[in-house]
A and B are shown apart, each in its own frame.
Chain A
Amino acid sequence: MARLLIILLFCLLAVSAGAQEKPPLEVPLGDAPTRGPADAAVTMVEFIDFQ
């Protein structure tokens, strides 16, 4: 019985957790400074603190 409850708890959390993969994080680029070609296959956005 205890085990069943644990399993149910797992289910609860897993379901609330949703799918396997997190949805990709969409970052609007706006007028941000960029380096590299605009049509590059991969875009890496860096949130930076210079200090």
Chain B
Amino acid sequence: MEEYQGKLRLVIKHYPYRYRDYSYLSAQAAEAARAQGKFWEYFDLMMAEKKLAREDLIGYAEQLQLDVARFTSELDNETHLARVEEDVQLARSLDLFQTPSFVINGRLLVGGRPIEKFRELIDAALAEVAGAN
């Protein structure tokens, strides 16, 4: 990300796997944090800590000084489930079934690839954009 400062934008779409315990829960937690304006802070914390049970997710909300009561009630009431489902439907409509999947200016990359592969696609996309201008 830093390497391409100013030239690269990262967009997150949720794609929780339906048979995992915490996939849907953590996606909804990220959305609940977003509702309080702290999606990326929450995202980074979750990525760093890796534990995703309900109490862990609420703990992160505390750490980020979110309104924990609101966060917890939204999580428990599945307030953001529909929003997560939208992303899942989108992914399926694009015939994506693996996570992580990346789409870099329209080019698909599936799975945890070596960083060189990302550089290759990003550089190609940059060159294409530069060529078009």
Contacts and interface: CB of A to CB of B under 8 A. Distances in A.
Interface of A: 23-30, 32-38, 40-51
A45 B6 contact: no
B125 interface: yes
Nearest to B40: A35
B105 A46 contact: no
Interface size class of B (residues with CB under 8 A): 35 or more
Given A25-B106, A35-B40, A50 B8 contact: no
Interface of B: 1, 4, 6-17, 20-23, 26-27, 30, 34, 39-40, 43, 46-47, 52, 86-87, 90-91, 94, 96, 99-108, 118, 122, 125-126, 129-130
Contact of B17 (A33, A34, A37, A49): A49
